[in-house]
């Protein structure tokens, strides 16, 4: 395919590509979804560049370098032996060591982690830092487990994982269900097994090599991405009503930054439902949420009781009218119908803190409406960017000041915005940030792969 393809040829190529992918990866629907989103949006860019086709670059990117799957045995507090499955997916290390989080959640499957590792490859490329893409995790459910049980699980998980990771090989971090506590337990076990104190995990405690603002970085970055998109339209957060989903790490620091920039957040959620607080979630209420979720490990419904807000059992917040939406919980939490409801109610911007939170027909609805839409691999890249800075600090055995890191995070998000803008600008002045993110992320990884020959 050496000339610009006609729309029919493009469609045929996409169909053939997806058929092959589905045949090779049966039943892995989340992985199919993530690959489809990328391939269909970068096709206009690669159509007239035969080097990418001849060297099968997309086919190689969509085949992980390595999948490690292993048994994780541990004993619960009653002495019962429990068995979970652990994984590490090393998707692509063309531009740096594998890098990406670890997720502990009962919904974790190979398909979920393959989609996340694939996405991470593009996201990490966008940060401009030398990091490849990987992801890991387990179907272990930390909810309701004692600290001692979580400790035993993390130690058992690391006892196999440590063979496959290293500061120049693969550097995991946190994700859903993996926060400061779990990273501490896993780092402690890595150190014990290897007798090495190295930057093999990021998101570490500040006492043992962690970086300032890593905890805040994903949420802050998601909001900076929206701030940058609004600035192009000579607009800002002042007076905007915002709907945020989730109530974990990404959601809470998104709320903090929205508040600082003059917006008002009216929703938060967890897997049992959402709260609607018409008065806004201010700093004091947010401190309550952080304590509720990270110390007491309770349910978001308790917020409604505490502050007299509404709780909507089993529902998602997208039915609440808002100017801006920040899905910050999990994949596929915004259906096509939810996206249409957001648009009908006047939503003008979506910045995705979670990974792949919007289903494909929801994305299509945003793009058709021409709203400001920052896809997850651009919007939530601030977290892994500060992880990259944590790696740099660990290698140099130094710690940067909060002021320096805050500036680096802001500059990184501006850089990501500008790359998406450059590759996503369309005739008529619209910016397709999805196409921009996928294309800009692709180019760097693809060109590095070309340089290596056939590997
Ligand atoms: P946390 O574990 O801190 O919080 C997760 C939140 O999402 C909780 O409120 C949880 O509710 C909710 N949630 C999880 N699974 C589901 C589900 N199946 N249905 C409904 N709600 C659910 O995770 P993070 O905040 O770290 O991660 C949130 C999202 O952001 C994920 O998509 C993650 O991949 C992404 N992300 C995280 C980064 C980070 O640095 N931590 C970086 C980039 C992206 P409940 O308490 O009921 O489980
Ligand atoms: O999805 C993500 O980017 C993360 N969970 C953070 C990865 C990291 O290595 O900091």
Does the model's pTM come out above 0.85?
Answer: yes
Helix %, strand %, coil % of the chain (to 5): 50, 15, 30
Residue recorded with tokens 């939530």: 380
Q: Whose CA is nearest to atom 40 of ligand 1?
A: 383
- Ligand positioned closest to the Cα atom of 275: 1
User: How confident is the model at residue 44, as a pLDDT?
Assistant: 86
Q: HSE of 44 in the Cβ direction (CA atoms, 13 Å)?
A: 13
User: How confident is the model at residue 8, as a pLDDT?
Assistant: 86
Per DSSP, the residues of 126-195 read: HHTSS-EEEEEEES---TT--HHHHHHHHHHHHHHHGGG-BTTTEEEE-BTTB-HHHHHHHHHHHHHHH-
Q: Which is the closest atom of ligand 2 to the Cα of 116?
A: 1
The whole-angstrom separation of Cα 38 and Cα 434 is 9
Residue recorded with tokens 């269900």: 177
Q: What is the DSSP letter of 248?
A: S
User: How confident is the model at residue 144, as a pLDDT?
Assistant: 94
SS in 3 state form for 333-396?
Answer: CECHHHHHHHHHCCCCEEECCCCCCECHHHHHHHHHHCCEEECHHHHCHHHHHHHHHHHHHHHH
Q: Are strands 372-374 and 81-92 parallel, antiparallel or unpaired?
A: unpaired
Domain 66-197 classified CATH 3.10.129.10?
Answer: no
**d(CA 250, ligand 1 centre) in Å:** 7
User: How confident is the model at residue 199, as a pLDDT?
Assistant: 98
**d(CA 245, ligand 1 centre) in Å:** 9
Beta-sheet strand order (sheet of 310-313)? 310-313, 273-276, 264-270, 241-244, 324-326, 349-351, 372-374
Reply yes or no on whether 135 is catalytic: yes
**d(CA 107, ligand 1 centre) in Å:** 12
Q: What does the chain come to in residues?
A: 455
For residue 137 the two structure tokens come to 């995790």
Beta-sheet strand order (sheet of 132-138)? 66-75, 81-92, 132-138, 98-104, 170-173
User: How confident is the model at residue 9, as a pLDDT?
Assistant: 83
Catalytic residue among 99, 114, 123, 135: 135
Four-way CATH pick for 215-374: 3.40.50.720, 3.30.43.10, 3.30.565.10, 3.40.1350.10: 3.40.50.720
- Sorted by where each begins, the domain ranges of the chain are 7-57, 66-197, 215-374
User: How confident is the model at residue 2, as a pLDDT?
Assistant: 46
Rounded average pLDDT per 10-residue block, the chain, 455 residues: 70 94 98 97 91 95 98 98 98 98 98 98 98 98 97 98 98 98 98 98 98 98 99 98 98 98 98 98 98 96 98 98 98 98 98 98 98 98 98 98 98 98 93 98 98 96
Neighbours of 209 (CB within 10 A): 20
User: How confident is the model at residue 322, as a pLDDT?
Assistant: 98
The whole-angstrom separation of Cα 372 and Cα 369 is 9
Contact between 356 and 332 under an 8 Å Cβ cutoff? The reply is: yes
Mutation test residue for ligand 1: of 136, 211, 271, the one with most atoms within 8 Å of CB: 271
Q: Which residues are near ligand 2 (CB < 6 Å)?
A: 99-101, 120, 123, 173, 175, 202, 355, 380, 383-384, 387
Same fold flag, 66-197 and 215-374: yes
Torsion of CA 363, 366, 371, 374, to 10 degrees: -10
């Amino acid at each position: 395919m050496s000339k610009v393809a006609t729309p029919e040829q493009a469609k045929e190529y996409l169909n053939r590509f997806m058929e092959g992918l589905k045949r090779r990866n049966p039943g892995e629907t989340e992985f199919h979804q993530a690959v489809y989103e990328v391939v269909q949006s970068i096709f206009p860019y690669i159509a007239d560049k035969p080097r990418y086709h001849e060297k099968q670059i997309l086919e190689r990117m969509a085949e992980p370098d390595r999948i490690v799957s292993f048994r994780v045995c541990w004993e619960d507090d009653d002495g019962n032996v429990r068995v979970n499955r652990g994984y590490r997916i090393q998707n692509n290390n063309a531009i740096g060591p594998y890098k990406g989080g670890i997720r502990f959640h009962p919904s974790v499957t190979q398909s979920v982690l393959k989609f996340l590792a694939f996405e991470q490859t593009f996201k990490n490329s966008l940060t401009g830092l030398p990091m490849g893409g990987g992801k890991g995790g387990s179907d272990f459910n930390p909810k309701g487990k004692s600290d001692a049980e979580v400790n035993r699980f993390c130690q058992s998980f690391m006892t196999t994982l440590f063979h496959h990771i290293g500061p120049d090989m693969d550097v995991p971090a946190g994700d859903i269900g993996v926060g400061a506590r779990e990273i501490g337990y896993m780092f402690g076990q890595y150190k014990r097994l290897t007798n090495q104190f190295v930057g093999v995990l990021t998101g570490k405690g500040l006492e043992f090599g962690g970086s300032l603002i890593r905890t805040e970085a994903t949420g802050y970055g998601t909001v900076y991405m929206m701030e940058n998109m609004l600035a192009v339209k000579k607009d800002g957060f002042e007076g905007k009503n915002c709907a945020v989903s989730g109530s974990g790490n990404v959601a809470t620091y998104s709320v903090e930054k929205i508040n600082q920039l003059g917006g008002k957040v009216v929703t938060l959620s967890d897997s049992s439902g959402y709260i609607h607080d018409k008065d806004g979630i201010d700093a004091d209420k947010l401190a309550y949420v952080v304590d509720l979720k990270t110390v007491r490990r309770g349910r978001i419904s308790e917020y409604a009781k505490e502050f007299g807000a509404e709780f909507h059992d089993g529902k998602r917040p997208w039915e609440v009218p808002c100017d801006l939406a920040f899905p910050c919980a999990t994949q596929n939490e915004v259906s096509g119908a939810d996206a249409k409801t957001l648009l009908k109610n006047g939503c003008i911007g979506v910045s995705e803190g979670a990974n792949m939170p919007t289903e494909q027909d929801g994305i299509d609805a945003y793009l058709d409406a021409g709203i400001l839409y920052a896809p997850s691999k651009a919007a939530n890249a601030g977290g892994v960017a500060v992880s990259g800075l944590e790696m740099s600090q660990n290698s140099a055995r130094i710690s940067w000041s909060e002021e320096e890191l805050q500036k680096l995070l802001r500059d990184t998000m501006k850089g990501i915005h500008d790359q998406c803008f450059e590759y996503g600008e369309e005739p008529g002045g619209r910016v397709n940030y999805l196409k921009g993110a996928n294309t800009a992320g692709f180019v760097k990884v693809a060109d590095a792969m070309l340089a290596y020959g056939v590997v």
